[in-house]
Each structure stands twice: as C-alpha cells, then as structure tokens.
Structure 1
Amino acid sequence: MATVREPVALIVGFACHHLALGAERVHLFFDVPHDPAAKVAATIPGVTVTLCDADYWREAGFAKPPALQTKRQTVNANRVMAQSDLDWLLHADADELLWLPGPLADELAQVHEGAWLHIPNVERCWKTAPDGEIYGGIFRGPLHDMPGLAERVYGKRAAALSGGMGGYSAGKAMARVGEGFLAIHKVRDAEGAPVRPSVPAPGARILHFDGITPAHWALKNLRYAEQGAAMNQLLNTQRMASIGAILQAPNPERAGARVYEALYRLNEDEAATLREAGALFDYPVDVAGAVARVAPHLSPDFSAEGFDRLHRAELSARAQSIVRQKRQARRNA
C-alpha cells in the first residue's frame, strides 16, 4: 500500500510492478482527493483507491488531515491493518519498488510467530548522466557498518550523506495483518509501544528512487523547505543541511540539480570501491513490462524528459518564490 501524491506514471508503475510480483491487492490512498491519477489507478485490476477527503479523515477520527505526512501514512496503513483480509502488508512510497530474488513465500517463511519482516532498502544512483528511463541506474546500500568507507568514497561529500545514503537507510516493515501497529519502518505492539522482534529479509530489498530525476529531487527538497520546522521530524540533519545550501544559492533550481549530481552520481573509481565492498548492486526491474501484463490498456510515459515536463513549471515557480523572499528579506534588513 502507499499514500500517494505523485504523477500518474509513477503511481501506475508502482501499482503494476507490485501486482506483477504477486501482490493480491494494492491499496492507494490519495492525499489530494481530486487527484486525476486516482481515476486512472482505479482502472487497474487489483487496485483499491481511497480518496483522503474531509469525510475520510472524519471517519478516521480527525477534524482535519494530520499535518505530517508520516502521520497520514501510519493512519492509512493501520486502517488497512485493521480492515483487510490479507495476510501480510507492506507500506512503501510511490518512488519505491519491492525487489524479490524469488517467491515472497521464501522470505516470509523465515518469520517466526509474533515477528515482522525487515526489508533493507537500497538507493538508486548513477554512473552515467541520469537520463533516459526513470527506473534506470544502479543501487547503493548503507555504509553504517563500514567505518571510513563513506569518507574514502565520497570525500567531503560524505558529510552531506547519512551512512553513504542521500535518503533514509532504515528499511521498511512487512507486517502480519491485524498483528501490532505498522509504523512504516518497524512494527510496534501498539502506537508508541515497544518495537516487536523482526527478522531480516534474506534477499528482498526496497529499491528507493530518491528523486526520480535531478529536477524532481530539487523540487522535492523545495517542497520540504516549505514545511519549516516540520522538516525536523521528516528528514535527517544531512538532508536538511543540503536543503539549506539549496535555499541560500542564487539560483535554487540550478543548485538543487547540482547537489543531486554531486550526491547521486558516481565516477568509475567510486563505483568500483563500493562494488568491491559489497555496497553497490544491480537490481533490474521491468516496470513497463509489468504495466503491459497487468494494465495493457495504459501506456504511461516513463521517460525522464516526460517526467520532468510535468514538474518544470512548479519547480521554476518555487525557485523564483524563494529568490523573491530572499530579496525582500534583504530590503527589510
């Protein structure tokens, strides 16, 4: 399941990929009730669409939608946990894909009673310029257990990464439906209660496409910046520092793309060092093929150029707004 506010191509790709893997059902909760992608998603066999409108939140016990996206995600996830007749549930974001080396049953067979499956995440990066198809690239893993490697690979850039990752590195939780509270990255006995024991997935991985394109990554960070103090609850300190640098730049739009390039593009030596350390992987996915099998009536554009076209106006508008605010602040100083 996912709580989504993304272009239709990403949502269709997410749903069809997981249905093609063998998911019995994909639950999509639309943060924006009038999102046109909801109507498209509803045409995919196996997808359940929920519009998170005022009636939905009142029924869930809220006078208005929770301000933090993580809270909205956990509310949605645990409503499925309480109401679904499925056996297992995974909450992932629309920019994440589950990767399996074999049948999911092989992974779940390792999970003893009362436990949950911890699925580590890896992060998409590039050896070449990030262009072409939005699901391309290679994947790096966290370096928390490899002291000094992040500094050796990335040099000064390591300070802007958390354990060698630009995003998170906590993995995701697959929970038995109806057992415990799904807190996205872990399962607790109840909300705020101790974490239940977990079993590491033998081979399954969450592929995190953190920033579908450089421009999309820049836009995501400008959106985060609008949330002010709420960022402290959503992002690690390294990511917030990167956002601060982007905001201070004369051209935030260009700066965002440059920071992405610095953090997510590997040269041959960097890639070779990570590969030798067992921290760089190839996880090929065929999302277009999954769409063709699951929803042949749809033909989403998975090109990077097409994806960026959807965001170009918003990115420019947000960047220009930041520049105007800085100018005004200087005048008022």
Structure 2
Amino acid sequence: MPVPNWSVVSTVREPLSLVLAFACHHLSMGAKTVHLFFDDPTDPAAEVMKSIPGVDVTLCDSAHWTALGQPDRPAWQTRRQTLNANFIAQQQRTDWLLHVDADEFLWAPYGIERDLARAGAWLHIPNLERAWIAPEAGIFDGVFRASGLSTSSIERIYGPARRYLQSGLSGHTSGKAMARLSDRKFIAIHAVKEEFGGEVSPGHTTANACILHFDGMTARHWLLKSLRYAAQGKALLQSLHNRRRAGIERVMDAPDPLTEGLALHNEIFHLSDKQREMLDAQGALLTCQLDLGASVAAHAPGRTTDFSAERFDAYLASALDETIGKIRNQTRRFN
C-alpha cells in the first residue's frame, strides 16, 4: 500500500518567528507542502516564507477574495480560514490536508501515516494546551495540559480560575481535522463536514498524535488575540464560549486592561507546584519536546531564529497598545 502524503494549510497573521517555526516544523514532520495564506497582504514575513522550499504563499488581497467569489474580505476570521482551506482542498495536490492555526503544531512521535491508512473521510487529532511552569523566557517553553477532567477535578485544581476554563482549557477542546481530499468534503474549523453547513462526516480519532496548541505565545500575545475579538464587535465576541468571553469582559471592564489582562493570564496559564502534581496524577500533564531550531536550520538554512518572549513581545507592542486603545474608547459594554 502506498504511503499517503499530506500537507498543511493555515491562514496566518503572526510574527515571522512563529510562522517560520510553524512551517519548518511541519515540513520536518513530513508535510509535502505548507500552504500559508497571509491575512495581511502587506505582511513582510510573506517574502521570507516564499524563499523556503515546500512553502506555498498566498497573499489575501482583494484579488484573492474576488477569485474565491467574495465581493469583499469576509469579516469573520473563521470564514476566511475555511475559504482558504477549501480552496487548497479543491486543487487535490495531496492525499490529505491538515487545517490548523499558526500557533498549533502537529506532534506525532510515531508518525501520522499509520493513522491515515485506516482513517475514513477525516482524521480527528485531539489537542493539548500549553501551560507555563516558570516565568516566560522562550515562546515555546512550558508543558501541555489535556482536557477531559471531571468537573470536581477542575474545581480542585484551578479553584476560582475554573470560571475561565472549558473542560480544563482556556481555548478550544475540539482538536483539529486532517481531511482525505479524494472524498471532496467541506473542511470546517474543527471537523470535516458533508458540505458547508452540513453534518459532520464519520471520522477516526488518532491515539498516536495530538495538536499542541500554544494559546498565546506570551501573555501579551494571548491578550492581544483575545482583545481583538472584542475590538471587532459584539457579534464576534458572542461567538466565543462563555468562559473565554468572561475573561475578555473582565479585562475590558478594568481601569487598566493591560495589568488586568496579564494578571488573568497568570491565573489561567501559570501552574503552581500543587497544580502540576494534581494534573500529573490524573495523567493530564505532558512534556512534548519540539526541536524547532533544528527544523528551521534544516529547511531555512542561514535564517537566524530568536524564540525569546522578549523579542516576540517587542514586535507586538504597537498592535497591543492600539487594540487596548480601541477597547478603552468603546462607549458600550458587551453583555
């Protein structure tokens, strides 16, 4: 039986260091192509990524959206992501296509090919979420926590911070999908469906791989991504799960959103020794090593990498200040 080949697609709007690590990691994992759609068509990272063999770059400018049958750039991020993913899927340039965000890294120490050989229309890959056990130094530092804990366990482990968690995680708990392209299904955010707006197709869940979700590469990055939902309007904020929205509204209502946001991140993501012990006892805490420096060296030789939190935050500083300014200037509160 021939070994199936697979590719990755992502719509990105992140600093170069993250996009570079993301692409090179997946190429090192065996991806045939990493398809990057740059949400900001003027993003300088696009030129760098174009030079890397195996990376396919598309600028999401007005011509791109017109080609996809859209009169304007879709307002909702999830709509832009699914349009881009299905655009690549329709081209049938690989057997399988993994649709993930730039802060989500496939981790499959035993490879993904065996799972693909026995999957149906799609492979469901569960996700873990990065948590911190020390002050932020590198953007990929930390450990990974799993969802699925009982309500009583979440209460004991997280205490008051549990009100911001869904099944023990701050972000999604749905995992991501790798679609068999020959079946010509619709690739959604977390699943594969019969068609747009249709029922979820039968799939297979892997026990040998997971998605490592870095829900914010630093505290400031997490805060920026969170507040962008609020800055774009009530409808987008309301689309989040209640616990995520509660945290954002707490920051929005604070006299000093930056200080409040950093404090909230600490409550949600930084684990005490006791919390680590309790999570470990439940088998819900893992260490997953990623040699991203080696991946970049292999696929983008000569390209220097700086994965420090300090450098990453410096790049985001103006965007975070601008977003916080928008939040402060809003005249209505979201309910």
Give the TM-score category using the shorter length: over 0.9
CA contact (8 A) 1:116 1:197 kept: yes
Q: 1:119 aligns with which of 125, 128, 140?
A: 125
C-alpha separation in 1, matches of 2:182 and 2:73: 24
CA contact (8 A) 2:128 2:211 kept: yes
* Structure 1 residues 145-224: aligned runs within 5 Å: 146-179=150-183, 180-224=185-229
Matched, 1:40 2:48: yes
Q: Which SS does the other structure have where 2:118 is aligned?
A: coil
How big is each residue's C-alpha offset from its partner over 1:188-213, in whole Å with a ceiling of 9 and x where there is no partner? 11111111111111211100000110
In structure 1, give the amino acid aligned to 2:133.
K
Question: Would the alpha carbon gap of residues 39 and 280 (structure 1) be closer, same or farther in structure 2, given more than 3 Å must change?
Answer: same
In structure 2, give the amino acid aligned to 1:138.
V
Question: Would the alpha carbon gap of residues 178 and 68 (structure 1) be closer, same or farther in structure 2, given more than 3 Å must change?
Answer: farther
In structure 2, give the amino acid aligned to 1:213.
T
* Structure 1 residues 4-23: aligned runs within 5 Å: 4-23=12-31
Q: Which SS does the other structure have where 1:238 is aligned?
A: helix
C-alpha separation in 2, matches of 1:321 and 1:72: 23
Deviation at 1:107, TM superposition (A): 2.1
C-alpha separation in 2, matches of 1:9 and 1:182: 27
Deviation at 1:254, TM superposition (A): 1.2
C-alpha separation in 1, matches of 2:134 and 2:115: 33
Q: Which SS does the other structure have where 1:185 is aligned?
A: coil
In structure 1, give the amino acid aligned to 2:102.
A
The residue aligned with 2:292 is: 287
In structure 2, give the amino acid aligned to 1:80.
I
The residue aligned with 1:298 is: 303
Q: 1:241 aligns with which of 239, 242, 246?
A: 246
The residue aligned with 1:263 is: 268
C-alpha separation in 2, matches of 1:319 and 1:232: 15
Q: Which SS does the other structure have where 1:32 is aligned?
A: coil
Which shows bigger deviation, 12-21 or 174-183? 174-183
Q: How many residues align?
A: 324
Deviation at 1:234, TM superposition (A): 4.1
How big is each residue's C-alpha offset from its partner over 1:201-257, in whole Å with a ceiling of 9 and x where there is no partner? 121110000011011111112211112223246421111110100011111011111
The residue aligned with 2:3 is: none
CA contact (8 A) 1:81 1:178 kept: no
C-alpha separation in 1, matches of 2:327 and 2:78: 25
**TM-score, normalisation: structure 1:** 0.94
In structure 2, give the amino acid aligned to 1:73.
Q
C-alpha separation in 1, matches of 2:161 and 2:238: 23
| Unaligned runs of at least 5 residues, structure 2 | 1-8
Aligned-residue CA RMSD (Å)? 1.6
Deviation at 1:324, TM superposition (A): 4.7
Structure 1 stretches (4+) deviating beyond 4 angstroms?
none
C-alpha separation in 1, matches of 2:186 and 2:259: 41
Deviation at 1:63, TM superposition (A): 0.5
CA contact (8 A) 1:251 1:319 kept: no
How big is each residue's C-alpha offset from its partner over 1:175-200, in whole Å with a ceiling of 9 and x where there is no partner? 01142111121111111111111111
Deviation at 1:297, TM superposition (A): 2.5
| Unaligned runs of at least 5 residues, structure 1 | none
Question: Would the alpha carbon gap of residues 234 and 291 (structure 1) be closer, same or farther in structure 2, given more than 3 Å must change?
Answer: farther
How big is each residue's C-alpha offset from its partner over 1:93-130, in whole Å with a ceiling of 9 and x where there is no partner? 11110000212212213314xx311000000001112x
In structure 1, give the amino acid aligned to 2:178.
M
**TM-score, normalisation: structure 2:** 0.93
Q: 1:69 aligns with which of 55, 73, 77?
A: 77
